[in-house]
Amino acid sequence: GAVVSQHPSRVICKSGTSVKIECRSLDFQATTMFWYRQFPKQSLMLMATSNEGSKATYEQGVEKDKFLINHASLTLSTLTVTSAHPEDSSFYICSAVGGHNRETQYFGPGTRLLVL
């Protein structure tokens, strides 16, 4: 149980395009999902908290118009990187809380984004 998927696993795009990343909880309902960004050899940095049916809560310094989050259902949250630039290249990873173990965040496998 507690499986979280993320799609795509890798994406390469041109500067100026938008990229959508999906995060799905496969076997439980996730009332809350979190989006993180991780630079090489660094820890996870929380970008935003996504609650089903409400607006996401963004961490300080994270542009909400740049990183659009939609938590449309109890099993799906999406992160859209709008007008991507090379500095947005990073590893993006989501997590979900819910199901039988409400204490733990279960993570997706992550998405490596490269903006050319």
Partner 1 sequence: AQKITQTQPGMFVQEKEAVTLDCTYDTSDPSYGLFWYKQPSSGEMIFLIYQGSYDQQNATEGRYSLNFQKARKSANLVISASQLGDSAMYFCAMREGRMNYGQNFVFGPGTRLSVLP
- Which residues contact partner 1 by CB under 8 A? 2, 31-32, 34, 38, 42-44, 46, 49, 51, 91, 93, 95, 97-98, 102-110, 112
In the complex, the smallest distance separating the C-beta of residue 66 from partner 1, rounded to whole angstroms, is: 20
Q: Smaller CB distance to partner 1: residue 14 or 41? A: 41
What DSSP state is assigned to residue 108? -
Q: Which residue has the tokens 């970008």?
A: 47
Q: Smaller CB distance to partner 1: residue 21 or 93? A: 93
Q: Smaller CB distance to partner 1: residue 34 or 67? A: 34
In the complex, the smallest distance separating the C-beta of residue 74 from partner 1, rounded to whole angstroms, is: 11
Burial (CB count within 10 angstroms: exposed 0-12, middle 13-18, buried 19+), residue 40: exposed
Helix (H, G, I), strand (E, B) or coil at 58: strand
